[in-house]
Homo-oligomer: A and B are copies of this chain.
Amino acid sequence: MGNSRLGANQYGKAENRVVRIYRDTARHEIVDLNVSTTLRGDFAAAHTDGDQRDVLPTDSQKNTAFAYAKEHGVTSPEDYALALGRHLLDAVPKADSVRVRVEQYPWDRIQVGGAGDRHGHDHAFVRRGDSVRTAEAAVARTGEIVRSGVQDLVLLKSTGSQFRGFLTDSYTTLAETDDRILATSLVAQWRYGGIDADWNRAYDSIRATMLETFANTYSRALQETLYRMGDAVLQSCADVTEISFSAPNKHHFLVDLEPFGIANNGEVFIASDRPYGLIEATVVRDDGPA
């Protein structure tokens, strides 16, 4: 049958739950991260001969992830990911590239001064669950790329969405609709053209742009909505060269209440778990990468 050989391979430490508290003043800051590192390169001997001499243990990668939260600090997940990736590339001669992926869980300060409190407590926090921020640094000997994103961003429009004029075949039973609920749990990831953006400001701006566009766009399909969102991000943020979306179409089915003599004019829906549509699209700047 011939022989076999090693193909693509990579290794690393996944899901280091790094929590960094800034406490230089009485007003603390919390940075709550899930960090994964991945190394690619010439690690053939570890596979074929069990020879580990070129392999930095994933345990050391873990140590570094925690140490760098203090040594380098975490002004943004992108900056931290770049620093960690560069260090690991230096530390492992046989590595060609390192990918560092960071998920950041947002927290709010607890309000202790009543409803009008915009200041919040100095060291007490409540986790804001409205989405997770993501950042990836791909650090190679040939160059560096930063991608940022958001996930678990659950959006819904209770009107302003249609679906009609679609292709039909002998298995089509779906009726056209002029008014439906459109909902998704969005995953978006965008690529920056450089490695020196104002990461936090860009993230906030891009997230807000996506939400505003989702809200303000009349939707003739989730595909169209995603495209408009991507286009708006590219128009508003010159640092971004492309943006990709993965968007489940979280179906909300109108419940038939007629057997009970009740009209249901878009008021009562059942939120369905499975199956779901899954729409994925990338929007690229015209002068962006192929």
| A interface with B by C-beta (< 8 Å) | 1-23, 28, 30, 32, 36, 38, 43, 46-60, 62-64, 66-67, 69-71, 91-92, 107-108, 110-112, 115, 121, 123-131, 152-160, 163-174, 181, 208, 211-212, 214-216, 219-221, 223-224, 226-227, 230-231, 234-235, 238, 242, 244, 248-249, 252, 255, 257, 259-260, 262, 264-287
Among A64, A220, A234, A255, find the residue whose CB has the most chain B CB atoms closer than 10 A: A255
Q: How far is the CB of A200 from chain B (nearest CB, A)?
A: 14
The answer to whether A110 touches B214 (Cβ under 8 A) is yes
Chain B residue numbers with a CB within 8 Å of A11 are 223, 277-280
Task: Kindly provide the distance from the CB of A216 to the nearest chain B CB, expressed in whole angstroms.
Answer: 6
B124 touches A156 (CB 8 A): yes
Contacts of A56 in B (CB 8 A): 166-169, 172
**Other-chain residue from B60, B238, B274 in contact with A17 (beta carbon distance below 8 A):** B274
What are 21 contact pairs spanning A and B, CB under 8 A?
A: A4-B283, A4-B285, A4-B286, A5-B284, A9-B280, A13-B277, A16-B270, A18-B269, A21-B181, A21-B267, A51-B220, A55-B166, A56-B169, A57-B163, A63-B173, A112-B216, A125-B155, A126-B153, A127-B156, A129-B154, A273-B273
**A268–B18 touching, CB < 8 Å:** yes
What's the Cα separation between A272 and B12 when bound, in Å? 16
Copy number in the complex reads: 4
With A70-B264, A111-B211, A255-B66 in contact, is A6–B156 under 8 Å at CB?
A: no
Cβ A6 vs Cβ B126 within 8 A = no
Q: How far is the CB of A78 from chain B (nearest CB, A)?
A: 19
Cβ of B270 and Cβ of A4 under 8 Å apart? no
Give A181 to B128 CA distance when docked, in angstroms. Answer: 18
